[in-house]
Amino acid sequence: MRPVSRARRIVDWIAGLFLLALGIVGLVLPGLQGILLILAGLAVLSSHSALARRLLDGLKARLRRARDRVLKRD
């Protein structure tokens, strides 16, 4: 794995935090897909943060369980 430059890391953090903030706003405003923006923000941040990676994995597992319940899978 190639080392990531400092500038790239800063851009990733800014983009990830912006997407997370927009996702949180999107949870209460109509028209914005809050969950999708939160997932995108966590995906960007997960390459640099173990906490974001754990949150992303947990959220994806929760969404899979919800999907399986809706589709009535075991």
What is d(CA 50, CA 33) in angstroms, rounded to the nearest whole number? 25
User: What's the pTM?
Assistant: 0.76
Residue 23 lies in a domain: yes
Residue 1 lies in a domain: no
User: How many domains does the chain fold into?
Assistant: 1
Summarised one tens digit per residue, pLDDT across range 30-65 is 888 898 999 999 999 998 899 999 998 998 899 899
Residue 14 lies in a domain: yes
pLDDT at 74: 60
Mean pLDDT of 7-16: 93
Range of the domain at 38: 6-70
- Asked if residues 45 and 13 have their Cβ atoms less than 8 Å apart, the reply is yes
